[in-house]
């Protein structure tokens, strides 16, 4: 007997679940859980958008002095500060939250910022000392960035961020006059988001049914090749740099120098995007990309901190659901069966009807059973369980493994009506 102790290293969730486990709401003007109250956000084209990525540039960078190419203002602010563990704990202890599962009809005070509750993880004695508590899931970030980028480039209805509201917002801000709406017609002027869907899909110009891994492959392998001769060079270069960013970020081996270079590259990409796309393009998923290299410095390769293995396991568990009225019970029952078979396979490794587990050691108290003699089976007279016609197959000698299985399945006995001990 021994005492098994478990430590929670970090959590891996999609962005909505991130808010529930971290206690920081991922909606509104302070949706970024890393920048917190120091995030640069504003109301553009009917929604909250997140700009100001020039703050991560060096202090003497030339882009800081440009205004019309960006949001109409020069940038003199430093990058958002990082909150220390003591500051977070002190603030959470000072705030007054509603009791759990109690609905309170009141507006959250401004002192709470985006805090909704104090997470239970802080009851662990070491949780407040961790530098990385919750991971931004690269899988979902990459998929959402892909949907936003491709939807805008291909002008896909419902997914493009280059809408009439976005063009009117550019006019309201007084920037990028060449992309303003033409008052004499309802058509957009020629620009970066021309409808090139006919080059990809003549029928609808849409991507439908793409999974996260499909977006992962398309973003890193196909997109740089597909847009090379379809868009202007100043648009293609940052997109190709973004593709390389995700390709290097998701590599199995990472060096510190590579991550530092990625941290520089993603800031360049986002700043170039601010000069190309309208503010409505910059959702919260576009903004959190700037924090991904920092997390990789703490957590290591992304293979240990994204949702792919979790999603695959959940997919396998969903396949075991037989009673849709009670899916949890079906999953538990299937998992118990899986654990039982795994246990039997390991502890009875040398039994002849478990040939795939013979690499595991056999306890000395158990000895393998004597080999079964080969029994010839007349397969010409055998019928399938469903009552199909007789199979005109030659006489074959069944192996001892097949016979062992057949002897243990009662419903399969009728398949052997003429088994004899002869070699016939």
- Cα separation, 56 vs 263, whole angstroms: 9
pLDDT for position 229: 79
Q: What is the pLDDT of residue 369?
A: 52
Residue whose entry in the numeric block shows the structure tokens 């998929």 = 143
Note whether 41 and 49 are within 8 A (CB). Answer: yes
| Cα distance between residue 96 and residue 123, in whole Å | 17
Per the document, the length of the chain is 424
pLDDT of residue 124: 92
Name which of 223, 228, 271 is nearest 246 in CA terms.
223
Q: Are 49 and 166 in contact (CB under 8 A)?
A: no
Q: What is the pLDDT of residues 249-261, one digit of tens each?
A: 999 888 899 999 9
Q: Given this model, what pLDDT does residue 397 score?
A: 47
Write out pLDDT tens, residues 147-200. 899 888 877 888 888 888 888 888 888 888 878 876 654 444 443 333 334 334
- Across the chain, which has 424 residues, the per-10-residue mean pLDDT values are 87 92 92 91 91 92 89 89 87 78 60 86 91 92 91 83 87 83 52 37 61 81 81 89 92 89 93 90 92 90 87 88 89 89 72 46 50 49 43 46 56 48 44
Write down the pLDDT at residue 195: 37
Residues 6+ apart with CB under 8 A from 257: none
Are 230 and 199 in contact by the 8 Å Cβ rule? The answer is yes
127: helix, coil or strand?
helix
Residue extents of the structural domains in the chain: 137-318, 320-357, 375-415
Q: How far is CA 27 from the centre of its chain?
A: 19
pTM, whole model, 2 decimals?
0.67
Q: How far apart are CA 284 and CA 141, in angstroms?
A: 9
Phi-psi label, residue 397: left if phi above 0, alpha if psi -120 to 50, beta otherwise: beta
Q: Mapping DSSP to helix (H, G, I), strand (E, B) and coil, where does residue 327 land?
A: helix
DSSP code of residue 56: G
Tokens standing for 68? 């019309």
**8-11-12 Cα angle (round to 5):** 145
Residues 6+ positions from 46 with CB-CB distance below 8 Å: 165, 280
């Amino acid at each position: 007997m021994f005492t098994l102790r478990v430590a929670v290293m970090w959590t891996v969730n999609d962005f909505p679940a991130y808010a529930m486990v971290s206690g920081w709401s991922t909606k509104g003007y302070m949706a970024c859980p890393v920048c917190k109250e120091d995030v640069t956000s504003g109301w553009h084209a009917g929604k909250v958008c997140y700009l100001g990525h020039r703050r991560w540039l060096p202090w003497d960078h030339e882009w800081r002095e440009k205004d019309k190419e960006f949001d109409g203002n020069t940038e003199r602010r430093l990058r958002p500060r990082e909150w220390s563990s003591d500051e977070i704990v002190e603030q959470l202890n000072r705030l007054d939250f509603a009791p759990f599962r109690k609905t309170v009809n009141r507006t959250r005070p401004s002192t709470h910022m985006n805090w909704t509750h104090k997470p239970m993880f802080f009851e662990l004695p070491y949780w407040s000392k961790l530098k990385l508590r919750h991971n931004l899931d690269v899988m979902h970030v990459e998929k959402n960035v892909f949907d936003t980028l491709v939807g805008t480039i291909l002008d896909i209805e419902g997914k493009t961020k280059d809408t009439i509201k976005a063009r009117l917002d550019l006019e309201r801000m007084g920037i990028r006059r060449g992309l303003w709406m033409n008052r004499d017609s309802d058509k957009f002027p020629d620009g970066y988001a021309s409808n090139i869907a006919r080059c990809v899909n003549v029928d609808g110009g849409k991507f439908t049914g793409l999974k996260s891994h499909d977006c992962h492959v398309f973003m890193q392998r196909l997109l740089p090749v597909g847009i090379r001769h379809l868009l202007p060079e100043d648009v293609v270069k940052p997109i190709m740099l973004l593709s390389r960013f995700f390709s290097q970020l998701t590599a199995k081996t990472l060096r510190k120098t590579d991550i530092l270079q990625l941290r520089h590259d993603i800031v360049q990409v986002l700043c170039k995007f601010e000069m190309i796309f309208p503010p409505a393009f910059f959702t919260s998923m576009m903004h959190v990309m700037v924090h991904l290299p920092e997390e990789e410095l703490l957590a290591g390769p992304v293979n240990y901190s994204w949702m792919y293995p979790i999603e695959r396991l959940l997919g396998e568990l969903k396949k075991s659901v037989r009673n849709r009225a009670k899916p949890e019970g079906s999953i538990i029952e299937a998992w118990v069966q899986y654990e039982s078979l795994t246990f039997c396979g390991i502890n009875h490794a040398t039994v002849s009807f478990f040939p795939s587990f013979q690499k595991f050691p056999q306890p000395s108290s158990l000895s393998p059973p004597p080999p079964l003699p080969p029994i010839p089976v007349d397969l010409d007279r055998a019928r399938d369980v469903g009552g199909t016609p007789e199979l005109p197959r030659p006489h074959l000698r069944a192996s001892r493994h097949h016979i062992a299985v057949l002897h243990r399945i009662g419903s399969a006995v009728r398949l052997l009506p003429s088994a004899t001990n002869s070699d016939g």
